[in-house]
Amino acid sequence: MTAAGRRIVCFGELLLRLTAPGRELLLQSPRLDVVIGGAEANVAVGLASLGHATAMVSRVPANALGEAAIGYLRRYGVDASAVTTGPGRMGLYFLSPGAGLRASEIVYDREASSFAQSTAGDFDWDRLLEGAALFHISGITPALGPQSAEMAIAAAEAAAARGVPISFDGNYRAQLWQRWPSDPRTILTQLVGKADILFGNHRDISLLLGAEFSGDGEGRRREASEAAFAAFPRLRLIASTARHVVDADTHRIAARIDSREGAAQTEEVAVSGIVDRIGGGDAFAAGILHGVQSGRDLDWTVRAGLAVTALKHSLPGDASLFAPRDIDAFLAGELDVRR
């Protein structure tokens, strides 16, 4: 586990997710199910469930919606003392869950949220990063706009200057980047340049480096990883999943970690009867960081990451709520009722 007294600090926007009930289209009937979400918050909750001390840094409106988001974090053991309030509104996103051969669809409504209106000067990183074991951030924050991009870069620079390892999940969201005259490659390159751990695959690395990688499967991923290690001297691990979507109910997923010395790769597992795939990538990040912070080797860590992401597909909501015993049971193939 993370060393006693040291926290994993996650920074990003807290959101409300409004989901069409069952497998309906949005507003097919006049109802929506509501859960708290947000990529970085999902990682914080997932890691807290795995026994790590975590803290969330964010900003929400001073109303019942913001209070609900803070209460949600506290309910699952995340330190929410650095979630402040400010002008603006709660960010929202709407989900129409997929069914059969119809893919899930997301609509964002995040303009002028309290978090998006925040600036780099609103966060005292000397205090917020004191005693931190790891700092986790994603590519969603800089995609919100130029002010948020400056805020994300300032946060990463503050962590790097203080010697706090940085975990960065690319989380490329085209809908967000396309809303403004953005330069994703330049911005994301600055962030990855500060990172020790990158969650991303060969496509993410292609975006960063402006390069194409030949071959298929493992060879292409290794080529991309070696190019990223050469371009970003701080990087020490790159973790990714490969997902084959059969239909909305059945996916085949494999996981991989690349280090500078080599790689660990899992076999593909079939994930069927999917309840909710949203947050699967955040669950994978939580599983990988659990292995890293627990001092496990790459082989165990990549299998733990696959375990948590596969299990997340069985759970409604944005975040993984699984404990270490659930990883152990998954790796042991225990599928029957535990009595």
In tens digits, what is the pLDDT along the chain, a chain of 339 residues? Answer: 766 558 999 999 999 999 999 999 999 999 999 999 999 999 999 999 999 999 999 999 999 999 999 999 999 999 999 999 999 999 999 999 999 999 999 999 999 999 999 999 999 999 999 999 999 999 999 999 999 999 999 999 999 999 999 999 999 999 999 999 999 999 999 999 999 999 999 999 999 999 999 877 788 999 999 999 999 999 999 999 999 999 999 999 999 999 999 999 999 999 999 999 999 999 999 999 999 999 999 999 999 999 999 999 999 999 999 999 999 999 998 765 555
Per-residue pLDDT, 336? 57
Tokens of 77: 């053991």
Per-residue pLDDT, 217? 75
Kindly list the distances between the CA atom of residue 321 and the CA atoms of 172, 243, 282, in Å, as whole numbers in the listed order: 24, 22, 12
Per-residue pLDDT, 41? 98
Per-residue pLDDT, 110? 95
For domain 12-331, the CATH architecture is: 3-Layer(aba) Sandwich (3.40)
Kindly list the distances between the CA atom of residue 105 and the CA atoms of 15, 95, 109, 296, in Å, as whole numbers in the listed order: 17, 6, 13, 37
Cβ 94 vs Cβ 18: under 8 Å: yes
> At 74, is the secondary structure helix, strand, or coil?
helix
Q: How far apart are CA 156 and CA 150, in angstroms?
A: 10
Q: How far apart are CA 59 and CA 118, in angstroms?
A: 8
58: nearest Cα among 22, 20, 11, 19: 11
Cβ 159 vs Cβ 141: under 8 Å: no
Residue with tokens 């390892």: 165
Per-residue pLDDT, 3? 64
147: nearest Cα among 116, 111, 193, 187: 116
Residue 298: count other Cβ atoms within 10 Å of its Cβ.
Answer: 21
Residues 6 or more apart whose CB falls under 8 angstroms from that of 2 comprise 8, 52, 53, 133, 134, 293, 294
Tokens of 276: 């909710």
Question: Which residue among 196, 204, 276, 282 is the active-site one?
Answer: 282
271: nearest Cα among 292, 255, 288, 289: 255
249 is catalytic: no
Per-residue pLDDT, 216? 76
Q: How far apart are CA 157 and CA 151, in angstroms?
A: 10
Q: At what angle do helices 64-75 and 39-49 cross, to 10 degrees?
A: 30
Cβ 5 vs Cβ 81: under 8 Å: no
Cβ 167 vs Cβ 40: under 8 Å: no
Q: How far apart are CA 54 and CA 279, in angstroms?
A: 18
Residues 6 or more apart whose CB falls under 8 angstroms from that of 188 comprise 139, 142, 170, 172, 207, 208
